[in-house]
């Protein structure tokens, strides 16, 4: 089963974080990728939290895309905020935030950011081979 895609728009607001988690869990259950659910939910939650915290005032919506291609689950979160591209950083132990991309980096095979007009897309790859079929 390869070549599946699901793209969904969400409003840029705090309750969308929980909605994204539910959506990812449901979609991956339907796709029989149960072994990827925990990591995929956490990655998409972190990327969505970044949009909600940093992209306010740049548009009403962001998009979450889930793609299964060639043995890889691709998660993408796209918004229209293009003033600052996300960067991996190492926060001090007492910093209250700044660990989201560290989590994405630790859980994903690869991740990155690509500009679009306007805005950006942050993506992460999870290998499907580590996902036992339900």
Q: Does residue 128 surpass a pLDDT of 60?
A: yes
Mean pLDDT score, 5-26: 96
Which tens digit of pLDDT belongs to each residue from 83-107? 666 666 776 666 655 567 788 988 9
Confidence (pLDDT) at 131? 47
Fold annotation for 4-130 = Heat Shock Protein 90 (3.30.565)
Concatenating the DSSP letter of every residue in 96-128 gives SS--HHHHHHHH-SEEEEEE-SSSEEEEEEEEG
Domain ranges of the chain: 4-130
Which tens digit of pLDDT belongs to each residue from 22-57? 999 999 999 999 999 999 999 999 999 989 988 766
Closest C-alpha to 78, from 1, 2, 7:
7
């Amino acid at each position: 089963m390869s070549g599946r895609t699901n793209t969904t728009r969400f409003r840029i607001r705090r309750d969308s974080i929980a909605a994204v988690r539910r959506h990812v869990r449901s979609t991956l259950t339907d796709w029989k990728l149960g072994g990827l659910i925990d990591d995929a939910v956490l990655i998409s939650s972190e990327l969505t939290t970044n949009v909600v915290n940093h992209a306010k005032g740049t548009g009403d919506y962001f998009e979450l895309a889930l793609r299964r291609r060639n043995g890889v689950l691709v998660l993408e979160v796209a918004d229209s905020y293009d003033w600052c591209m996300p960067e991996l950083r190492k926060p001090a132990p007492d910093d209250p935030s700044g660990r989201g991309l560290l989590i994405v980096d630790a859980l994903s095979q690869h991740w990155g950011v690509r500009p679009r007009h306007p805005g950006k897309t942050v993506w992460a790859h999870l290998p499907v081979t580590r996902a036992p079929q339900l």
